Structure 1
């Protein structure tokens, strides 16, 4: 890759790459990709003072209000998906999944006149780069990136079966604690390389893009309409541990029908005085427990998924 005008520079990264090293980068004057959410520059990154470690990289600038702490949380989510990819690949005989793990770094130097000159040339580009901006450094992989799964969990019509399986594997392997979306990447050398995944978790601990249980519910609603045969092994909820369920969640269609016919009455929520209501409002949320779904299933061992009320008699295709 031929690079010119490497006048922008970062400090050594705050987080480490998959092999434990920290990196700093020089990168070009002009961005290679500009979207509503981010700008991507091409550059070269180095580990410490070892110039033989020179590696082509992508330098990613996100929204200006995303701070260092939020970026670190986001990268920790990707680190978990990177770990899960290794476990998933151990079960595969064919196509392997590679998840690129970025490093969080802070800008050190900005090219002179960059903000003024480039913004004058590109009228739609409003991103100002500051000396203390937080960015992501990621290995540059040449190729055409395809959005296999969008951030909401909608799969592309060309989404490979192995990506479907991997997404379900992540949820199953973590016992229901997270789902992964925004699976975009390239197919290369009998493998799929994924970049910039978004993680939604029960504890909502992976940054601003982690939408918690709401994001997980949206994923299941939209993602599971085109599952392959290979997904079935990861769709059982037998060993999944979720937060405690409210009593109004019904595990069988029969119960739902009885309620619809007013055969079973749903108890009305309790009424509170003004002072009691204030206490309830100020109380912390209930803790998440580790109770597996199997322990609260009806006697016939019919498992249910927390995001729908359909019966799971064998393996629920959701």
Structure 2
């Protein structure tokens, strides 16, 4: 892989704190970006199975550097979503595949490596991220798709993804919701990166919009045949945040004041902290 590498990282911290560790070298220019981060192509170097494998280094943009401290490097979001996906594959995919001719694929959530940027040169947009935590993930080869968001956007073409988000809320007794699902679909499975988790205690970072986030997602959710097949409960909510332009992750500090200050009597309508 002949790339012009300019940046490198310290050794990674593995999500289970064991096993081989890696360093990453990555290109000087991002190949893609989200609302908050740049994505750089790179290579992992280490003594494990991922040695010399293509990877992606995700670095926060200058605009968001002041909020990076809120992004916990303990990987709690990805680990929580990973566990939900594993249970969904075990409990729900067999049920869904017992109906009709369509076979539904399993869901895999990528748990990234975490490391710090060691050296950056020339790019003023990311220069402030030296010594900041970055996420290193395997490079996903395929068409990257936003299946839903953490603020109510849904792509109705992907009923399994939407049912999965709904299921996480139902199976957890309304304590959690995995959403903001995006990634690729290959021949065997859906592979997801950077999900969000809404939780009652709002302990999953700045994309965790809490109870109000769950209500916002549910208020824009249209139950599909898979939701009904899994017997998922439904609740009617007034649409609070029209999601037409909300494919990207929305953070707590970005929410309009009128949404952040909502205070009502329904169980899932709570004040969002600034």
TM bucket normalised to smaller: 0.7 to 0.9
**Other-structure match for 1:151:** 150
Measured in 2, the distance between the counterparts of 1:36 and 1:52 equals 28
| Correspondence 1:67 to 2:68 | yes
Structure 1 CA distance for aligned equivalents of residues 153 and 146 of structure 2 = 10
* Per-residue deviation, residues 68-108 of structure 1 (Å, max 9, x unmatched): 562326x3112111111111111314311111111221111
Report if aligned partners of 1:145, 1:186 keep a CA contact under 8 Å in 2: yes
**For 1:105, what is the secondary structure of its paired residue?**
strand
Of residues 226, 232, 236, the one that matches 1:235 is 232
Q: Do the aligned partners of 1:11 and 1:108 also contact (CA within 8 Å) in 2?
A: yes
Cα pair 1:168 1:234 within 8 Å, conserved = no
SS at match of 2:11: coil
Q: Structure 2 regions of 5+ residues with no counterpart?
A: 95-103, 236-265, 270-274
Q: In structure 2, what is the Cα distance between the partners aligned to 1:79 and 1:52?
A: 19
| TM-score when normalising by structure 1 | 0.64
Structure 1 distance, partners of 2:50, 2:233, is 48
Superimposed CA distance per residue, residues 110-146 of structure 1 (whole angstroms, 9 cap, x where no aligned partner): 24xx22xxx6xxxxxx443442122111111111111
Q: Once the 2 structures are TM-superposed, how far is the Cα of residue 193 of structure 1 from its aligned partner?
A: 1.3
Q: Which has the larger radius of gyration?
A: 1
For 1:236 and 1:168, the matched residues in 2 are separated by 9
1:174–1:101: structure 2 CA closer, same or farther, 3 Å change rule?
same
- Please name the residue that 1:83 is paired with: 83
Q: Any residues of structure 2 matched to 1:1-318 within 5 Å, and which?
A: 2-16=1-15, 21-47=20-46, 49-50=47-48, 53-62=51-60, 63-68=64-69, 70-72=71-73, 75-91=75-91, 92-93=93-94, 94-111=104-121, 114-115=122-123, 126-158=125-157, 160-223=158-221, 225=222, 227-232=223-228, 233-236=230-233, 306-307=267-268
Cα distance change, pair 195–144 in 1 and its aligned pair in 2 (3 A): same
Higher RCO (CA < 8 A, seq sep 6+): 2
RMSD between superposed Cα atoms in Å: 2.7
**Is the Cα–Cα contact under 8 Å of residues 183 and 194 in structure 1 kept in the other structure?**
yes
Is the partner of 1:218 in helix, strand or coil?
helix
> Do the aligned partners of residues 192 and 130 (structure 1) sit closer, same or farther apart at CA in structure 2, a change above 3 Å counting?
closer
Kept after mapping to 2: 8 A contact 1:3/1:43:
no
Contact kept? 1:179, 1:219, Cα under 8 Å: no
What TM-score do the two structures reach when normalised by structure 2? 0.73
Query: How many residue pairs get matched?
Result: 225
User: Runs in 1 of length 4+ with deviation above 4 angstroms?
Assistant: 17-21, 49-52
Q: CA deviation at 1:67?
A: 3.2
